[in-house]
Structure 1
Amino acid sequence: MAKVLMKGNEALAEAAIRAGCRYFFGYPITPQNEIPHYLSKRLPEVGGVFVQAESEIAAINMVYGAAGCGARVMTSSSSPGISLKMEGITYIAGAELPCVIVNMQRGGPGLGSIQPAQSDYFQAVKGGGHGDYKMLVLAPATIQEMVDLMGKAFGLADEYRNPVMILGDGILGQMMEAVEFPEQEDLGRLPVKSWATTGAKGRAPNLINSLFLDPQELEKHNHHLQRKYDRMAKEMLWENYKTDGAEIVLVGYGSSARIAKAAVDKARAEGIKAGLFRPISLFPFPKPALQAACTQAKHVLTVEMSMGQLVEDVRYNLEFKVPVHFYGRAGGMVPTTRAVLEEVRRIVNSGLGGGQA
């Protein structure tokens, strides 16, 4: 199939349709508005349903209802909008319903700005809502990867009966790249969802619920969910770039990883043995792969569009055996290749022995 030039948000929306998504509920917020705009036109063309809800809270509860009926359903928003959805997301996780949630991050806290950021990492991977729950979190770095991961996201949601988040940012949503789309998913081959509330047609009624008034029953449910989250460890995804023999390994995801990769190339041209480790799955975090990539590293540097969130997980997963430094920009400011390269030079040439906060 020929490649087409598309904006990230629109390519992601088209990929969702090709992955079998037929229901979308959302509410406008910059910088993800092209997703609902595109789906408002395309979904009716394929027999799907688009609803612009009265709020983010209403939208996520509509997702709950459609997912409970067994539909492939999606919502999208940006940072403060995702915050408003958090109660519904924890209900969905508690009720074990599959759906895909897209977050095109912007600056914060509060209303912040409409510029790109990566300060929702904690919210995504630690559980921004209440209770012990997890989402599978995938972080693409290119528009093609957003397209490719969309089908995987719906498949993982169905396999684990769990919400899956695509964690992007305003850069990925607004930039344009050439992409190639997969073939349309055969909707007849989607998994049978015997648990769905499709009407008790000759069978006992199904009950979908996240309320357990008996504490013993709720504890049992929590243990059941944790076993499922443990099984998700097999879904770890990552990319190594020039990490063989690297003495300083940069770690970044999404747009920051693209910038870090360019800095690695320039560092290598100067004789600095630099490499890049890019986690694609943020939950589950690819701990064994990160440790393997850093076996010869004297230093690790995380590159983020935040005040330092990914850096905490990198330090933890490396078990504090390697000095982990941090370089970040916040509030919608984007790191430059030159600035990252200067930080690499500073670390390598100064002989720093301790992690930098």
Structure 2
Amino acid sequence: MSERVLVKGTEAIGEAAIRAGCRLFFGYPITPQNELPEYMSKRMPEVGGTFLQTESEVATINMVYGAACTGTRVMTSTSSPGFSLMQEGISYMACAQLPAVLVNVVRGGPGLGDIQPSQGDYWQATKGGGHGDYKLIVLAPSTVQEAVDLTYLAFDLADEYRNPVLIIADGVIGQMMEPVTFPEFRDLNTLPNHGSWALTGAKGREKHIVVSFDIDPYVLEKMNLELVEKYKKIEAKEKRWEEYKLDDAEVVITAFGTVARIAKSVVEQARKEGIKVGLFRPITLWPFPYERLEEISRGKKLIFDVEMNMGQMLEDVKLAVKDHAPIEYYGRLGGVVPTPDEILQALKSKLGR
């Protein structure tokens, strides 16, 4: 493993992608993720890769689509409004079962919003932001080191399941600097061989066809059912989460990403005041770890969901917890980042303290 280095979140994601074997990057600038394509514009030529700044996010995702058809590891990054513009292409890629890694550094919204951190794209990420029935594997880091680790993992998951993988972060994770340890460079010769389906030239073999449609509804239904079976496998194998001080907890905070790291400070402060609080943090927003959260929620005094949105993950929390414990919510909107004191006071208010 490499030595620890101090690096910004967006740049750390770029370097992790390169080390994972990514050699194609297409992107269009939008704050607060601009340092990522800027970093890739410098690093890609150094490793024999290709960087291209496109004319729009629509062009970007269609270039990613084309590159993914070759089985080459490819990535793009953007922020909320740009990710919206990519939705049609992402739906096409999911239907065509193409591997790629997408990064959304979420900003305040809706609309053009602002460039401050937010978690307002949860529904878009986890419920299928585009048309049709499809799912993305969605990974939510809460530290720069985890952003590195999950980026490296994302390419393997994309290849294993032939499915787009989304890393959803926000302006805090994207812009902060933390010491990280980078993984070693992958040997490109050891990357998965996609010769059974990829478009690499048909000389000497039967041609491959990659499509995301069929005008015969029965054929299209069969394609959809194949996706359903794949998603079941992902749900069975790829749920990830973190549990923090839950062994004796009477109250459980649910949070992801940046808010989860803030929530750890809340846990510490609450315990100093005699309130037994723990944290449950989903790392895969899809597949969501419903079963584990349901198990944890049994007999608890309160499940306290905290987000930087109007309560989007709250829907999944409710589905998981069912009627095992009361659920309350606290959130900030428009790019406002809640402080530990604000969250703790809100929690104490819900507990009647």
Q: Does 1:257 align with 2:260?
A: yes
Letter in 1 for 2:288: F
1:225 paired residue number: 227
2:274 paired residue number: 271
Q: Does 1:161 align with 2:180?
A: no
Count of equivalent residues: 350
Whole-angstrom distance in 2 between the partners of 1:291 and 1:316: 9
Contact 1:240 1:293 in 2 (8 A): no
1:355 paired residue number: none
Q: Does 1:49 align with 2:50?
A: yes
2:206 paired residue number: 204
1:316 paired residue number: 319
Whole-angstrom distance in 2 between the partners of 1:295 and 1:94: 38
Contact 1:11 1:143 in 2 (8 A): yes
2:65 paired residue number: 64
Task: Give CA deviations for 1:146-178 in whole Å, capped at 9, x if unaligned.
Answer: 001111100000000000000000000000000
Shift of 1:349: 2.4
Shift of 1:292: 2.5
Letter in 1 for 2:259: S
Shift of 1:218: 0.7
Whole-angstrom distance in 2 between the partners of 1:35 and 1:240: 30
Task: Give CA deviations for 1:166-222 in whole Å, capped at 9, x if unaligned.
Answer: 000000000000000001011111111021000003110000001110001111111
Contact 1:243 1:294 in 2 (8 A): no
Letter in 2 for 1:208: V
Query: Gapped runs of 5+ residues in structure 1?
Result: 351-357
Contact 2:290 2:316 in 1 (8 A): no
2:3 paired residue number: 2
Letter in 1 for 2:139: L
SS in 1 for 2:342: helix
1:237 paired residue number: 240
SS in 2 for 1:307: coil
* Deviates most, 312-321 or 3-12: 312-321
SS in 1 for 2:298: coil
Letter in 2 for 1:287: Y
Whole-angstrom distance in 2 between the partners of 1:292 and 1:339: 28
Contact 1:135 1:162 in 2 (8 A): yes
Shift of 1:318: 1.3
SS in 2 for 1:88: helix
**TM-score (normalizing by structure 2):** 0.98
2:300 paired residue number: 297
Whole-angstrom distance in 2 between the partners of 1:320 and 1:229: 27
Whole-angstrom distance in 1 between the partners of 2:327 and 2:93: 36
Letter in 2 for 1:173: G
Whole-angstrom distance in 2 between the partners of 1:152 and 1:14: 13
Whole-angstrom distance in 2 between the partners of 1:193 and 1:320: 46
Whole-angstrom distance in 2 between the partners of 1:250 and 1:122: 20
1:354 paired residue number: none
Shift of 1:329: 0.3
Shift of 1:295: 2.5
Whole-angstrom distance in 2 between the partners of 1:170 and 1:324: 28
Identity over aligned pairs, percent:
59
Contact 2:298 2:325 in 1 (8 A): no
Shift of 1:296: 3.2
* Deviates most, 123-132 or 292-301: 292-301
SS in 1 for 2:352: helix
Contact 1:246 1:294 in 2 (8 A): no
Whole-angstrom distance in 2 between the partners of 1:323 and 1:43: 50
Whole-angstrom distance in 2 between the partners of 1:152 and 1:292: 27
Letter in 2 for 1:147: V
Give the RMSD, CA atoms, in angstroms: 0.8
Shift of 1:321: 2.7
Letter in 2 for 1:43: M
Shift of 1:262: 0.6
1:87 paired residue number: 88
